[in-house]
Amino acid sequence: MIIPALDLIDDKLVRLYQGDYNKKKFYDNDFKKILEKYKESGVKYIHLVDLLRAKVPSKYNINILRNIISHTNISFQIGGGIRNKKDINELLSIGAKKIVISSLSITDPNKTKKYLKYFGGKKIILALDIIINLKKQKEIYINGWRKNTHKILEDVINYYIPYGLNNVLCTDINKDGTLNGPNIILYKELSKIFSNINFQASGGVSSLKDIDNIKNTGVKSIIIGKALLEKKININEAISCWQKE
Closest alpha carbon to 75 in 99, 45, 32: 45
Q: How many residues does the chain have?
A: 245
Yes or no: say if 230 and 224 are a contact pair by the CB < 8 Å rule: no
Q: Does the global pTM surpass 0.85?
A: yes
| Cross-strand bridge partners of residue 138 | 132
Yes or no: say if 191 and 170 are a contact pair by the CB < 8 Å rule: no
The per-residue pLDDT for 115 is 97
What integer best gives the mean pLDDT of the chain? 89
Closest alpha carbon to 223 in 127, 143, 134: 127
3-state helix, strand, coil in the chain (%, to 5): 40, 30, 30
The per-residue pLDDT for 46 is 96
Closest alpha carbon to 219 in 193, 245, 181: 193
Mean local confidence (pLDDT), 178-201: 92
Percentage of the chain with pLDDT > 70?
A: 92
3-class DSSP assignment, residue 171: strand
Mean local confidence (pLDDT), 174-196: 89
Residue 16 pLDDT greater than 80, yes or no: no
- Tell me how far apart the alpha carbons of residues 173 and 102 are, in angstroms, rounded to a whole number: 14
Residue 21 pLDDT greater than 60, yes or no: yes
Helices (H), the chain: 31-41, 51-55, 62-70, 85-93, 104-107, 109-119, 153-160, 184-193, 208-215, 226-229, 235-243
Residue 103 pLDDT greater than 70, yes or no: yes
Dihedral, 125, 33, 70, 117 alpha carbons, nearest 10? 0
Q: How confident is the model at residue 54 (pLDDT cuts 50, 70, 90)?
A: low
Mean local confidence (pLDDT), 1-16: 83
Reported CATH class of domain 2-243: alpha beta
Q: How confident is the model at residue 108 (pLDDT cuts 50, 70, 90)?
A: very high
* 118 HSE (CA, 13 A, CB side): 12
Catalytic residue among 7, 50, 176, 210: 7
Q: How confident is the model at residue 61 (pLDDT cuts 50, 70, 90)?
A: confident
The per-residue pLDDT for 5 is 92
Closest alpha carbon to 225 in 72, 12, 15: 15
Is residue 50 annotated as a catalytic residue, yes or no? no
Is residue 129 annotated as a catalytic residue, yes or no? yes
CA atoms 102, 104, 110, 115: torsion sign: negative
Catalytic residue among 20, 30, 50, 129: 129
